[in-house]
Amino acid sequence: MAVRLLKQSKSFGGVLQHYAHESTATNSSMRFSVYLPPTANLNHKVPAIYFLAGATRNEETFLSFGGAQRFAAARGVALVAPDTSPRISQGSSHWAYGPGASWYVDATQPRWTKHYNMQSYVSKELPALIQIHFPILPTKQSIMGHSMGGHGALITALRNPDLFESVSAFAPACNPTHGEYGAKAFKNYLGADHATW
């Protein structure tokens, strides 16, 4: 589970880092960002909040534009933000599914199953990788998200009740299958049978 540092910068006494790694869940290169507060080091592990971004966003959106680092630094909390999907086109040019819009599900349709396994990525592979490489308390992790990422945070927390202490969703796509774009995405990823959604 090697990670490659792409860039880093100082932020509110801590450090904001952007990484890439080869993912077994998505069979592709994946990116994520981590903010470590000033108190985080090998001798002092800190709590972490995972942030799942909305459709068409990426691993830099929340930590580049949200300003959350100031609050995380003051409270001694790390922030982890994965990319929203593998950046591999499966012939789709629609913004609601494909690169930038995984809906944080594990695809069951042959066209998508090789790479689009984001539920496994955010609930298993990424937390394990974070535990190996960063001073994060494994029993003090929470998850949050916005829009499509709010949906992802909710389903990830509900499916993994022992992984996260809390879940927050901001303007979440709580019922995406009843909207035009969510229904298109779920049909592509999970098939036409609504019972499997």
User: What count of Cα atoms within 13 Å lies in the side-chain half-sphere of residue 74?
Assistant: 5
Q: Compute the mean pLDDT over every residue in the chain, rounded to the nearest whole number.
A: 94
pLDDT for position 92:
63
pLDDT for position 93:
63
pLDDT for position 38:
98
Give the count of domains, the chain: 1
pLDDT for position 110:
94
Using alpha carbons, list the distances in angstroms from residue 123 to 97, 111, 143.
Answer: 20, 22, 10
pTM: 0.94
pLDDT for position 17:
98
Q: List, for residues 142-174, the tens digit of each pLDDT value.
A: 999 999 999 999 999 999 999 999 999 999 998
Output the CA angle 54-59-62, nearest 5 degrees. Answer: 65
At residue 59, what is the residue type?
E
Spans in the chain with pLDDT lower than 50: none
Name the residue range of residue 69's domain. Answer: 4-196
CATH code of the domain in which 104 resides:
3.40.50.1820
pLDDT for position 182:
86
pLDDT for position 117:
97
